[in-house]
């Protein structure tokens, strides 16, 4: 599973933050890693440089072998919170997809 980060013009992902997010994603998405070819993380700040409540957004897109991509998003007061929310939504979506597939085998 390849993890790719995309950001808007308001954010530059430093190596330390990149490593932290990569470790979180690998840990939380580990059981799906055989089925996901690429995990794209899109981070954005809706308010730019201004402070705002829940203005950080994470769009998480999973590219699954032989299936259409799955995308979820979450907002939070920090990028970490937004990523964690998106990961939980993605895990739920993938549990549903792969649960249905195993029921039809």
- Whether residue 66 contacts residue 47, with contact meaning beta carbons closer than 8 Å, is answered with no
- Whether residue 2 contacts residue 40, with contact meaning beta carbons closer than 8 Å, is answered with no
3/25 Cα distance (integer angstroms) = 8
Q: What is the pLDDT along the chain (105 residues), one digit of tens a residue?
A: 999 999 888 777 788 988 999 999 999 999 999 999 999 999 998 776 666 677 899 999 999 988 899 999 999 988 899 999 999 999 999 999 888 666 555
23/102 Cα distance (integer angstroms) = 28
Domains of the chain listed by start with CATH number? 2-103 (3.30.160.100)
Backbone angles phi, psi at 53, to 5 degrees: -75, 125
Which pair of tokens denotes residue 9? 């013009």
62/71 Cα distance (integer angstroms) = 6
């Amino acid at each position: 599973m390849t993890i790719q980060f995309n950001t808007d013009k308001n954010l530059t992902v430093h190596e330390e933050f990149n490593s932290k997010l990569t470790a979180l994603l690998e840990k939380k998405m580990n059981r799906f890693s055989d089925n996901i070819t690429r995990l794209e993380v899109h981070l954005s700040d809706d308010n730019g440089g201004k402070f705002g409540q829940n203005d950080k957004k994470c769009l998480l897109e999973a590219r699954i072998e032989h299936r259409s991509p799955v995308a979820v998003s979450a907002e939070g007061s920090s990028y970490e919170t937004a990523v964690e929310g998106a990961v939980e939504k993605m895990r739920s979506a993938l549990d549903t997809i792969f649960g249905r597939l195993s029921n039809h085998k």
